[in-house]
Amino acid sequence: MGKGKGTVASSANQWFGSAGPDDVAGSQAPTLLWEAVESISDGFALFDAEDQMVFCNGNCRRQLDGMADVIRPGIPFETVLRTALDRGLLIIPNIAPEDWLQQRLADHRLGRGYHEVELASGIWLGIREFRTRDGGCVSIQSDITARKKAEQALTHSEERYALALAGTNEGIWDWDVGTDLIYVSPRLRDFLDMPSVPLQCGREWLACIHPEDRDRYRAALTDHLCGHSAFFSCQYRLVEAAGARWVRHRGLALRNEQGRAFRMAGSLADITRDKLAQLALAEAKEQAELANRAKTEFLANMSHELRTPLNAIIGFSEIMLTESLAPLASDAHRSHLTEILDAGRHLLAVINDILDVSRIEAGQFTIQPEPVDMSRVMESSLRLIRLRAERQGVCLATECGAPPPRIMGDARLLKQALLNLLANAVKFTPGGGTVTIGCRREADQSFCFTVTDTGIGMKEEDIPTALRPFRQVDGALNRRYTGAGLGLPLAKAFVELHNGALTVASVPNQGTTVTLRFPAARILDARPEGEPLAG
């Protein structure tokens, strides 16, 4: 250590003179030099030829906060580093601390230029080291924290940008309109198997596009360049040896003060899979529509074929019940004929409903509009359903806030809609319950008919099922309530043919309310003077 101290002392005398930095009786140069070193914003440290500290300024001590008991003249440089490592003051990159230390010592002895070190406090130091003529070392530590944060922010931004581009699976292009040169990103270049040199947009790029799609591409591009569209977007096929590949080409033009486009940039993405799925979906939809039309035609033909023998069964049953041909042998015969007649009429009604559904789905159902007195329709519907309600122990009631109007529509369909709703309400209402038919006029002069029951109701999510043909909310084979599931869907279709709407509100075990709403244009009593009748 004696040798070390002598070296430290001689180095100090070399820099500040024998008087030391505080002695200004002789020359003022050492004091001025000391003050200059202390005043600089960087940390400053001097080591002698034995790598022992001669002195350091206040900024150096502040940068090495947590080592006040160590930083003093005569301490070896290696001790400074080891102490900083042991106390966790340095953040070492992905390398063993001892390996980093040995590399750092080697660089320090050789005076290898510049090093960057991150402190645990979050401060980054840029360290520049220079060898003196006597073998010592000058170390200047600059706070580069702001610069490192800016570099990190830029790196993160570039990484996010690269990740965003990779995540979109799209390539980027940049077109100089004046020179007609187009630059493509490496991803797009690989995607299209293009050379790295710029391409001529008007010639080489067009050569990549399928001939049948080039006119559409040119039209979309010209439309945007002329300012007729806010963005450029076009889907087309690329010419490839293995077949066509679909891409989505999008971009935006930059314009000068005169509005002329001088540059355009955008992206290009491979949408072959989506396009093929879209084409397959369109084909499947077409096949489904063909199958649906075939089903509709089949149902219509079968309905006609079934109605002829059914009408014969119903007709002969009615004749035999009148005993005009021959007297019936017994009451049992009459009972059996009555059951045959009821079954035939029920089956005929179901077939008629199926025929109506088929015609509606095929778009072949038309109405025969005429003025219809809805009060008579209501009375007739209640009269037809009253006997069934009495047998089931259900009470029928009427609550009209306004007299039923005349409606321009098809009398048979309007009556069928109300009758279907009343029949459903009675069927799903246990004995002792009530079915109420009501009517009211709305503020917009539309008119509503409601059928409300106190029956079993249904869940809100089951309502769409009930409104679809041939569907039952209770679809089990042993379900309690029978039927083809056509009453409510047909009523909805008949109302919509009159430009109206059918809505359902229901609560399980509390009941259901079905509302038929007819627009003011269909209500003759609400028609303004001079307005033509709805057709």
Residue 400 lies in a domain: yes
Name the domain boundary from 149, 184, 214.
Answer: 149
Check whether residue 203 and residue 282 sit in a common domain: no
Burial of 277 from C-beta contacts in 10 A (0-12 / 13-18 / 19+): exposed
Check whether residue 354 and residue 479 sit in a common domain: no
If one counts the domains in the chain, the total is 4
Residue 156 lies in a domain: no
Check whether residue 333 and residue 379 sit in a common domain: no
Check whether residue 10 and residue 105 sit in a common domain: yes
Check whether residue 321 and residue 386 sit in a common domain: no
Helix (H, G, I), strand (E, B) or coil at 81: helix
Place of tokens 């539309």: 446
> Would you state the pLDDT for residue 300?
66
Check whether residue 265 and residue 282 sit in a common domain: no
Check whether residue 391 and residue 511 sit in a common domain: yes
Strand ranges, E, within 147-306: 170-176, 181-184, 199-200, 232-238, 245-255, 261-270
pTM: 0.42
Check whether residue 332 and residue 462 sit in a common domain: no
> Would you state the pLDDT for residue 234?
93
Element (H, E) at 163: helix 145-168
Residue 534 lies in a domain: no
Integer CA distances (angstroms), 231 to 235, 249, 264, 265, 415, in order: 13, 11, 11, 11, 55
> Would you state the pLDDT for residue 504?
92
Could you tell me the two tokens for 461?
Answer: 């999510």
DSSP track, 326-390:
S--S-HHHHHHHHHHHHHHHHHHHHHHHHHHHHHHHTT------EEEEHHHHHHHHHHHHHHHHH
> Would you state the pLDDT for residue 512?
92
Structural domain that includes position 95: 2-149
Q: Tell me which amino acid residue 375 is.
A: S
Question: Which residues does 306 contact at the CB level (< 8 Å), separation at least 6?
Answer: 347, 351
Domain with residue 49: its CATH number is 3.30.450.20
Check whether residue 385 and residue 433 sit in a common domain: yes
> Would you state the pLDDT for residue 23?
40
Name the domain boundary from 114, 149, 184.
Answer: 149
Digits of tens for pLDDT over the chain (535 positions)? 444 444 544 555 554 444 344 443 345 667 777 788 888 889 999 999 898 998 899 888 888 888 888 888 899 999 999 998 888 888 887 888 888 888 888 888 877 678 888 888 888 999 998 888 888 888 999 999 999 899 888 888 777 766 665 655 678 888 888 888 888 777 777 766 665 555 666 567 788 888 899 999 999 999 999 999 999 999 998 887 556 788 899 999 999 988 899 999 988 888 888 888 888 888 888 888 787 777 777 766 776 677 677 777 777 777 877 777 777 777 777 787 777 877 777 677 667 766 666 666 666 667 788 999 999 999 988 988 888 899 899 999 998 888 888 999 988 889 888 988 998 899 889 999 999 999 998 888 899 999 999 998 888 888 888 887 655 655 433 344 444 557 788 888 888 888 899 999 999 989 999 999 999 988 886 544 444 433 3
Angle subtended by helix axes 487-497 and 331-361, to nearest 10: 50
Of 300, 361, 320, the residue nearest 497 (C-alpha): 361
Q: How many residues does the chain have?
A: 535
Residue 162 lies in a domain: no
Place of tokens 């003759």: 524
Check whether residue 143 and residue 99 sit in a common domain: yes
Residue 179 lies in a domain: yes
Name the domain boundary from 341, 361, 381.
Answer: 361
Check whether residue 284 and residue 404 sit in a common domain: no
DSSP track, 384-422:
HHHHHHHHHT-EEEEEESS---EEEE-HHHHHHHHHHHH
Check whether residue 250 and residue 336 sit in a common domain: no
Q: Are strands 124-131 and 114-119 parallel, antiparallel or unpaired?
A: antiparallel
Residue 108 lies in a domain: yes
Residue 205 lies in a domain: yes
Residue 163 lies in a domain: no
Q: Tell me which amino acid residue 323 is.
A: E
Dihedral sign (CA 349, 354, 359, 361): positive
